[in-house]
């Protein structure tokens, strides 16, 4: 390959890999398998070695994929969180062992661990107390997710035991069990919310939620795999992990000390056969040099430790024929391509359809009708196409192209810059969007209207009884009773549930409106900042993006929604129906739960500002004080609590509570 050709290919690979990193780490919606991703990285590494003059320190081969987001504060990792080198080959494990033994002297031992498929976190403990939790981030710094981590039951707030260092870092993998994941997706489907693709995406997304209450409800778990520090009890990885288990950290019982590469391969083969029986998804095995002094001697590359490697299991695949591609329209207008396949048995189920995600994926695969395609189901709800066997392709086969017009209403599709998906802009008159928005509006976490499933919504829409969700509030039982599958009792229950929805809190109404990019958490934030729907309708881009959690894309979507006269008319009708379209004031929320209590506030907070907490204390008949004394009932402590207040509290034996505990006391959690 000539240098000019290599330069073009390298630029294309770097751009493509960075896009996949963003999809994986930031959006938790990967569109290619780990194996395909690794092939791209390996190709790039090979070209960069062959043409060293084209090297770049910013290349994905030299940097760690980043999950950093603007919604969280960032802190530097005391020890960089590097990525592991991957292999799918037994021979490469043997080569890895040969390199290790050549580079160091002494007896080489390895620790083998299951490679759990979740989201990595790094926890800092000082004097036995959890101080901070960071995501991997870009390897050098991570997002502070301490508030969410405190909701994970398998992560101890305080630890005791033998030989606990004064300060140390412990790393683990945040996980969702297969059972919890399946239950979560069943609930999302019932509530007309798109299911998560796999447990890893669900865990990573949950870790970045802005509401710790939702995080707690997701039942995350954590399994720990690495202890770091200057004063660890042992000079080897295996015994330090065992010690951490004794301190109260969950270390999986499968870890094994291996004396030879043969024992490593036995471990790999054993768990390849047994992994389906585990409660959690794993995608491979991690092999680490046991001796810490050897680890230090071997060192790291810019991206990966030289003393560890991951053996990746290939996801189960099947080869079948692509019959056609259809296009589905969601409630927000997003158009998703779906592959229709000749039925094939895969991972114990018969597969007839597979996800194609978006136009980029179709172009990447270069799909043609009647292609023989490889379908993979590695933790996916809907299987996906990961490759093509070109030897079966007919010379006259027709190339698959993405739809130009909406398959339901014929409107020309739109693709915004910076977004992966096409969508239909005809949201007021495109039937699946209308019915999808009604389904979202009535869902449990929105207006919570019982008795109106997908079939009933279809029935009401096709009978011209409803054309949007505001029409629900003009229905009466007499219109419903004659309809198929309904009767007096069902009709009465539906009307009763519609009437009960008038009392749903304002923030849930904002979520129920179905504004593009406005999910449950963002709706809460918006409702808090704009205390009535009228204030929100008048908000401009500058006011919206001034909110830390609101970026330009969300802000533009909100402004666009309320600039549409048809949406304004729907809001007017919801007002007339009596729906709650303003937030209760602090005075309206006041209670007497803090009567007789004197409370000191110290530190930085996430849910409310210090001034808001002062008002909340007074509204609940408590007394705010700026200094700690024997009369202090408790201290409401946030991040970076003042040291003098902390020492005074310990001296006087005064209780210190966090933000979540405080909100629980006043009945807001």
Task: Output the six-digit token pair for 469.
Answer: 């969700």
CATH number at 333-402? 2.40.50.140
Q: For residue 383, is pLDDT > 80?
A: yes
Mean pLDDT to the nearest integer, 648-656: 89
How high is the pLDDT of residue 587? Answer: 45
Alpha carbon distance 257, 237 (integer Å): 10
Yes or no: say if 601 and 654 are a contact pair by the CB < 8 Å rule: no
Alpha carbon distance 23, 27 (integer Å): 5
**DSSP of 647-666:** HHHHHHT-EEE-HHHHHHHT
pLDDT tens digit string along 527-545? Answer: 988 989 999 999 999 999 9
How high is the pLDDT of residue 326? Answer: 94
CATH number at 587-665? 3.40.50.10190
Mean pLDDT to the nearest integer, 605-633: 80
Which one has a higher pLDDT value, 495 or 593?
495
Task: Output the six-digit token pair for 335.
Answer: 């158009």
> In 3D, which of 584, 583, 618, 582 has the Cα closest to residue 599?
618
Give the chain's count of helices (H) and strands (E): 25, 20
Question: From the CA atom positions of the chain, what is the Rg in Å?
Answer: 28
pLDDT tens digit string along 113-156? Answer: 999 988 899 999 999 999 999 998 888 888 888 988 988 888 99
In the chain, domain spans: 3-54, 80-312, 333-402, 431-577, 587-665
Q: For residue 225, is pLDDT > 80?
A: yes
Task: Output the six-digit token pair for 314.
Answer: 């290939």
Which one has a higher pLDDT value, 276 or 172?
172
Q: Can 115 be counted among the known catalytic residues? A: yes
Q: For residue 4, is pLDDT > 50?
A: yes
Q: Name the 3-class secondary structure at 196.
A: coil
How high is the pLDDT of residue 590? Answer: 53
Alpha carbon distance 33, 302 (integer Å): 24
Yes or no: say if 339 and 325 are a contact pair by the CB < 8 Å rule: yes
Alpha carbon distance 284, 87 (integer Å): 10
> What is the DSSP secondary structure assignment for residue 25, as one 8-state letter?
I
Report domain 431-577's class.
Answer: mainly alpha
- pLDDT category, 65, cuts 50, 70, 90? low
How high is the pLDDT of residue 51? Answer: 82
- pLDDT category, 26, cuts 50, 70, 90? low
Yes or no: say if 350 and 333 are a contact pair by the CB < 8 Å rule: no
Give percent above pLDDT 70 in the chain: 91
Q: Is 413 exposed, middle or buried (0-12, 13-18, 19+ CB in 10 A)?
A: buried
Q: Which fold has domain 80-312?
A: D-amino Acid Aminotransferase; Chain A, domain 1 (3.30.470)
Average pLDDT, the chain: 86
> In 3D, which of 627, 633, 637, 632 has the Cα closest to residue 660?
637
Q: Is 555 exposed, middle or buried (0-12, 13-18, 19+ CB in 10 A)?
A: buried
- 290 φ/ψ sector (left φ>0, alpha ψ -120 to 50, else beta): alpha
Task: Output the six-digit token pair for 623.
Answer: 């007394």
H helices of 353-476, where? 359-365, 431-442, 454-462
How high is the pLDDT of residue 27? Answer: 52
Task: Output the six-digit token pair for 466.
Answer: 């409803």
What is the 3 state secondary structure string of 335-368? EEEEEEEEEEEECCEEEEEEECCCHHHHHHHCCE
In degrees rounded to 5, what are phi and psi of residue 334? -60, 130
**What pTM value is reported for the model?**
0.54
H helices of 22-175, where? 34-50, 90-103, 146-149
Measure the N-to-C terminal CA separation of the chain; round to a whole number of Å: 62
Alpha carbon distance 594, 23 (integer Å): 46
How high is the pLDDT of residue 586? Answer: 47
486-494, Cβ contacts within 8 angstroms, sequence gap of 24 or more: 486/456, 486/459, 490/451, 493/450, 493/451, 494/449, 494/450, 494/451, 494/452, 494/456
Yes or no: say if 387 and 379 are a contact pair by the CB < 8 Å rule: no
Paired strand residues for 81: none
**In 201-221, which positions are buried (b, 16+ CB within 10 angstroms) versus exposed (e)?**
bbbbebbbbbbbbbbbebbbb
pLDDT tens digit string along 158-192? Answer: 998 889 999 999 999 999 988 888 888 887 776 65
Task: Output the six-digit token pair for 307.
Answer: 């003393």
Q: Which fold has domain 3-54?
A: Helix Hairpins (1.10.287)
Q: For residue 588, is pLDDT > 50?
A: no
Which one has a higher pLDDT value, 236 or 42?
236
Determine which one of 12, 15, 102, 115 is catalytic: 115
Alpha carbon distance 384, 390 (integer Å): 18
In degrees rounded to 5, what are phi and psi of residue 355? -75, 140
- pLDDT category, 609, cuts 50, 70, 90? low
- 569 φ/ψ sector (left φ>0, alpha ψ -120 to 50, else beta): alpha
Alpha carbon distance 166, 588 (integer Å): 47
CB count in 10 Å sphere of residue 331? 22
Mean pLDDT to the nearest integer, 414-426: 86
Q: Say how far residue 266 (Cα) sits from the centre of its chain.
A: 34
Yes or no: say if 598 and 622 are a contact pair by the CB < 8 Å rule: yes
pLDDT tens digit string along 543-586? Answer: 999 887 788 889 999 999 999 999 999 999 999 999 989 876 54
How high is the pLDDT of residue 419? Answer: 77
Q: What is the total residue count of the chain?
A: 669
Distances (CA, A) of 75 to 72, 192, 308: 10, 37, 25
Q: Name the 3-class secondary structure at 8.
A: helix
Sheet holding 221-228, edge to edge: 129-135, 119-126, 167-175, 221-228
> In 3D, which of 186, 290, 312, 171 has the Cα closest to residue 238?
290
H helices of 51-161, where? 90-103, 146-149
Which one has a higher pLDDT value, 272 or 379?
272
Yes or no: say if 34 and 284 are a contact pair by the CB < 8 Å rule: no
Task: Output the six-digit token pair for 123.
Answer: 């926890």
How high is the pLDDT of residue 124? Answer: 95
3-state DSSP helix/strand/coil percent for the chain, to nearest 5?
40, 20, 40
Yes or no: say if 143 and 137 are a contact pair by the CB < 8 Å rule: yes
- Least confident among 17-26, 252-261, 494-503, 585-594: 585-594
Alpha carbon distance 546, 590 (integer Å): 28
């Amino acid at each position: 390959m000539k240098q000019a050709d290599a330069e073009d290919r390298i630029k294309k690979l770097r751009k493509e890999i960075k896009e996949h990193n963003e999809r994986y780490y930031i959006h938790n919606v990967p569109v290619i398998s780990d194996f395909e991703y690794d092939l791209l990285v390996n190709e790039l590494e090979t070209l960069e070695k062959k043409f060293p003059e084209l090297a770049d320190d910013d290349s994905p081969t030299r940097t760690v994929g980043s999950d950093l987001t603007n919604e969280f504060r960032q802190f530097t990792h005391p020890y960089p969180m590097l990525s592991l080198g991957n292999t799918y080959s037994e021979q490469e494990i043997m080569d890895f062992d040969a390199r290790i033994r050549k580079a160091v002297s002494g007896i080489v031992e390895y620790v083998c661990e299951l490679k759990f498929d979740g989201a990595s976190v790094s926890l800092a403990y000082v004097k036995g107390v959890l101080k901070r939790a960071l995501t991997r981030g870009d390897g050098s710094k991570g997002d502070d997710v301490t508030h969410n981590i405190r909701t994970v039951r398998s992560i101890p707030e305080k630890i005791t035991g033998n030989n606990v260092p004064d300060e140390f870092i412990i790393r683990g993998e945040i996980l969702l069990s297969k059972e919890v994941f399946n239950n979560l997706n069943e609930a999302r489907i019932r509530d007309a919310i798109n299911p998560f693709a796999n447990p890893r995406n669900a865990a990573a997304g949950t870790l970045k939620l802005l509401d710790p209450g939702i995080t707690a409800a997701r039942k995350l778990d954590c399994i720990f795999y690495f202890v770091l520090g200057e004063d660890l009890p042992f000079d080897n990885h295996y015994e330090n992990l065992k010690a951490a288990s004794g301190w109260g950290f969950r270390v999986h019982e499968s870890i094994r000390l291996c004396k030879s590469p043969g024992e490593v391969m036995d471990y790999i083969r054993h768990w390849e056969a047994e992994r389906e029986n585990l409660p959690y998804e794993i995608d491979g095995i991690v092999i680490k040099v046991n001796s810490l002094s050897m680890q230090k001697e071997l060192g790291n590359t810019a991206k990966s430790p030289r003393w560890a490697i991951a053996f990746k299991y290939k996801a189960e695949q099947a080869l079948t024929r692509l019959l056609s591609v259809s296009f589905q329209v969601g409630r927000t207008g997003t158009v998703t391509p779906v592959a229709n396949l000749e039925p094939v048995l895969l991972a114990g189920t018969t597969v007839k359809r597979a996800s194609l995600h978006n136009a980029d994926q179709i172009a990447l695969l270069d799909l043609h009708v009647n292609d023989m395609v490889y379908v993979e189901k590695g933790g996916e709800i809907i299987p996906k196409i990961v490759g093509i066997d070109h030897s079966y392709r007919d010379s006259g086969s027709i190339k698959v192209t993405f739809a130009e017009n909406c398959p339901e209403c014929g409107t020309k599709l739109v693709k915004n810059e910076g977004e992966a998906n096409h969508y239909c802009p005809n949201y007021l008159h495109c039937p699946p969007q209308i019915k999808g928005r009604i389904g979202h509006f009535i869902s449990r976490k929105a207006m919570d209207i019982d008795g109106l499933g997908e079939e009933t919504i279809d029935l009401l829409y096709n009978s011209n009884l409803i054309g949007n969700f505001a029409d629900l509030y003009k229905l009466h039982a007499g219109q419903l009773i004659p309809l198929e599958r309904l009767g007096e009792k069902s009709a009465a229950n539906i009307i009763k549930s519609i009437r009960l929805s008038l009392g749903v809190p304002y923030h849930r109404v904002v979520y129920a409106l179905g504004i593009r990019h406005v999910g449950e958490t963002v709706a809460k934030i918006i409702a808090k900042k704009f205390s009535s729907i009228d204030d929100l309708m008048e908000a401009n881009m500058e006011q919206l993006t001034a909110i830390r959690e609101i970026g330009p894309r969300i802000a533009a979507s909100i402004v666009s929604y309320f600039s549409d006269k048809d949406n304004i008319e729907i809001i007017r009708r919801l007002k007339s129906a009596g729906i709650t379209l303003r937030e209760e004031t602090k005075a309206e929320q006041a209670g007497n739960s803090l009567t007789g209590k004197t409370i000191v506030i110290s530190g930085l907070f996430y849910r409310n500002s210090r001034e808001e907490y002062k008002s909340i204390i007074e509204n609940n008949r408590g007394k705010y004080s700026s200094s700690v004394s024997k009369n202090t009932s408790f201290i409401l402590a946030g991040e970076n609590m003042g040291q003098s207040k902390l020492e005074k509290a310990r001296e006087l034996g005064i209780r210190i509570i966090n933000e979540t505990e405080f909100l629980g006391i006043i009945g807001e959690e």
